[in-house]
Structure 1
Amino acid sequence: MTLAPYVAILGRGQGRARSLTQAEAEAAIALILSGNAAPEAIGALLMLMRMKGETAEEIAGLTAGARASLPRWAGAAPAIDWPSYAAGRTRGQPWFLAAAKLVAQAGHPVLLHGWNSHQATGASVRAALPDVGIAQVAWTEAPDALAQSGIAYVPLAGISPALMDLLRLRDVLGLRSCINTVLRMLNPGSAPIAVQGVFHPSYRELQRDASLLLNQPCLRVLKGGGGEFEHHPTKDITLHGLHNGAIWEGQTGTALTGHLRLSETDSRLSDVWNGTVQDEFATAIITSTAALVLGACGRADANHLALDLWARRHHAKAA
């Protein structure tokens, strides 16, 4: 079997080409991840899909196929799946890591996974993990890490080297592909709640609709800082997602007034977390982001809870 039939479906020409069905997309990614697809065909498939624009059925099929290729998660499922795959070119410090830590301290185990070991600007996500007490672990160690501390970060290369290779094709092709979206959708631990950041607003509905096809119970998709799930506290942003398996929409609300950009603070995550620097804007980023996730978890008065968790962050433990 080759990718040629799927490339032909997408590239037959005006009036004849069509999108892949969910089943076709799943079969195509399975073939790619098996290592039996020609590299030229892989590039053609990804770029044809990009030029056409991905459909929810295609993203759902690609995600299902990618999930089927993953090593088994050997433990209790995390409560929250929190992917981090943004390029980071327009962001500053990774404040969302502190928000994820607060959510874990509230008793909701968080699995972070990602690729971004470095950023063109701002701080490296992986380098900042120790600043808030998040361990980077191997895939096989992640279930125990979540059971012990409630939160862990696993690099994509440790989950699926084959998916990492597909992501690196951006360096070859010069453009992002549907793989960037699939990785945000991956949910390798089958968490019932998923939070996803996007940079381009149109992907909010795409990821929501694909998640609906995959029977994801709860989802929140946010146009966030640098493409991460990170709320700007002076902006009331529309959230798209799912609640109890049905389409849901809500607003983030605002925690502050003003017009600052996320990168317009010189504070460092470690200093703000440790309390050596008091930064109202950075703190509002962290607590408002945490509140959005706590709300998805069904916690009452999520905003007040996030502020309380922040105040006692150095004394709280994951329940």
Structure 2
Amino acid sequence: MHYAPSMTDTHAAFATYVATLGRGPGRSRALTREEARTAFGMVLRGEADPHQVGAFLMLLRFRGEDAEEITGMVQAARDEAGLGGGRGLDDLGIDLDWPSYGAGRTRGAPWFLLAALALARSGTSVLMHGSNDFSAGISVAEGLAALGLAPAGDKASAAAALRPGRFAYLPLHVLAPAMDRLLDMRRLFGLRSPVNTAARLLNPADAPFGVDGVFHPPYIDVHLGVAERTGRHRLLVLKGGGGEAERVPLKPATASLWDHAAGRGEIALPAVEGLRPHPPAGDTADLVSAVWRGEAAPETPVQTIRATIALALLAMRRAENPSQAMDQAATIWSQRL
């Protein structure tokens, strides 16, 4: 079937960005921050032809994610979603930003969710946001439902939940619908796109601290680079289970940090001795509920929860070292009820 695109001046303008990315070896280049901000803003507003959008996203992926480009995309997404500058959630005094966009094929229960809820019970204000559409495990929404809780339906209900409970979960389709539609294009591509990285770095409430998980270690440098360029206060990033900010302490690991005062750094995280792998296939929503209520205490999931709480404490500078963080985490977990 012959397809003749209907070109507009806007399409012609967007074509320059696609050409910049795709001219070929020795001629193509990454977009500048402002170019990426303008181009991605056009995508989010529906001003680019769908064929152009597909080409744009896959060229960005093929070239490799660039911190300048992703910074521009994050800025455009925040602009379109009405975040920052007193327009969104930045007046709620959120302590910790917690993105959840993992798509692991071997994920089970969202133990990181119980870590975030325990932190909230201890007095830390946590805003979680994300999309689990491509994860094989139990979603955050399903985990919340098992505990008698629900995702926020809009920004106002998120604010209402945060005041008494210090925790809210904003699905991306509520927080930034245009971004969510772009994430869903993974079904057509068979591949993730840089939109996934940009979504993780939205920090919708301008929280001073953040924890973030990546599936592939090379993305860590991009996350830290965007944190630096956007003026984030402090962000901890690690290769987490299924790409989530979750620490499974079966073996030693390294967490990477961006700190506005100290720059980049690393924290060596020791393993918890004697742990055995926990098969995710046996995880259920009922098990999530039972662990939260203290009716079940499988060793590796409980240690995962504690180690993930410890990550957040290190991110927020509330512990001086991993050992102290784990001790504090054990207390926070035991006192959650």
Give TM-score, length-normalised by structure 1: 0.93
- The 1:276–1:229 alpha-carbon spacing in structure 2 relative to 1, beyond 3 Å, is same
Question: Which runs of 5 or more structure 2 residues have no equivalent in the other structure?
Answer: 1-9
CA contact (8 A) 1:91 1:262 kept: no
SS of equivalent to 1:69 = helix
Shift of 1:275: 1.6
**Once superposed, what is the RMSD of the aligned Cα atoms?**
1.8
2:190 equivalent in structure 1 = 174
SS of equivalent to 2:51 = helix
CA contact (8 A) 1:136 1:154 kept: yes
Question: Which runs of 5 or more structure 1 residues have no equivalent in the other structure?
Answer: 315-319
Query: What does 1:252-267 correspond to in 2, within 5 Å?
Result: 252-260=269-277, 263=280, 266=283
SS of equivalent to 1:3 = helix
CA contact (8 A) 2:141 2:150 kept: no
SS of equivalent to 2:97 = strand
Shift of 1:262: 6.2
CA contact (8 A) 1:95 1:230 kept: yes
- Inter-partner Cα distance in structure 2 for 1:158 and 1:11: 33
CA contact (8 A) 1:92 1:123 kept: yes
Matched, 1:309 2:320: no
Q: Deviations over 1:110-140 (max 9, x none)?
A: 00111115743x3222111144565411222
Matched, 1:250 2:267: yes
Which amino acid is the alignment partner of residue 276 of structure 1? E
Query: What does 1:16-31 correspond to in 2, within 5 Å?
Result: 16-31=27-42
Which amino acid is the alignment partner of residue 188 of structure 1? P
Give identity over the alignment, percent.
42
Mean Cα deviation higher: 305-314 or 255-264: 255-264
SS of equivalent to 2:330 = helix
- Inter-partner Cα distance in structure 1 for 2:92 and 2:107: 33
4+ residue stretches of structure 1 with deviation over 6 A?
A: none
- Inter-partner Cα distance in structure 2 for 1:134 and 1:228: 21
Mean Cα deviation higher: 302-311 or 176-185: 302-311
1:224 equivalent in structure 2 = 240
| Correspondent of 2:51 among 29, 36, 40 | 40
- The 1:278–1:259 alpha-carbon spacing in structure 2 relative to 1, beyond 3 Å, is closer
Aligned residues: 313
CA contact (8 A) 1:22 1:58 kept: yes
Shift of 1:302: 2.2
Query: What does 1:10-159 correspond to in 2, within 5 Å?
Result: 10-71=21-82, 72-74=87-89, 75-117=91-133, 119-120=135-136, 122-132=137-147, 134-137=149-152, 138-159=154-175
- Inter-partner Cα distance in structure 2 for 1:117 and 1:49: 22
- Inter-partner Cα distance in structure 2 for 1:118 and 1:9: 31
SS of equivalent to 2:16 = helix
Which amino acid is the alignment partner of residue 313 of structure 2? L
Which amino acid is the alignment partner of residue 103 of structure 1? L
1:282 equivalent in structure 2 = 301
- The 1:133–1:273 alpha-carbon spacing in structure 2 relative to 1, beyond 3 Å, is same
1:317 equivalent in structure 2 = none
Mean Cα deviation higher: 191-200 or 109-118: 109-118
Give TM-score, length-normalised by structure 2: 0.88
SS of equivalent to 1:219 = strand
1:215 equivalent in structure 2 = 231
Which amino acid is the alignment partner of residue 232 of structure 2? Q
- The 1:266–1:153 alpha-carbon spacing in structure 2 relative to 1, beyond 3 Å, is closer
Q: Deviations over 1:56-77 (max 9, x none)?
A: 1111111111111113324323
Shift of 1:222: 1.2
Which amino acid is the alignment partner of residue 210 of structure 1? V
- The 1:264–1:235 alpha-carbon spacing in structure 2 relative to 1, beyond 3 Å, is farther
SS of equivalent to 2:102 = coil
- Inter-partner Cα distance in structure 1 for 2:270 and 2:26: 44
SS of equivalent to 2:59 = helix
CA contact (8 A) 2:98 2:126 kept: yes
CA contact (8 A) 1:233 1:254 kept: yes
Mean Cα deviation higher: 236-245 or 265-274: 265-274
Shift of 1:9: 0.6
- Inter-partner Cα distance in structure 1 for 2:61 and 2:278: 30
Shift of 1:278: 2.2
| Correspondent of 1:8 among 11, 19, 39 | 19
- Inter-partner Cα distance in structure 2 for 1:117 and 1:12: 34
1:296 equivalent in structure 2 = 315
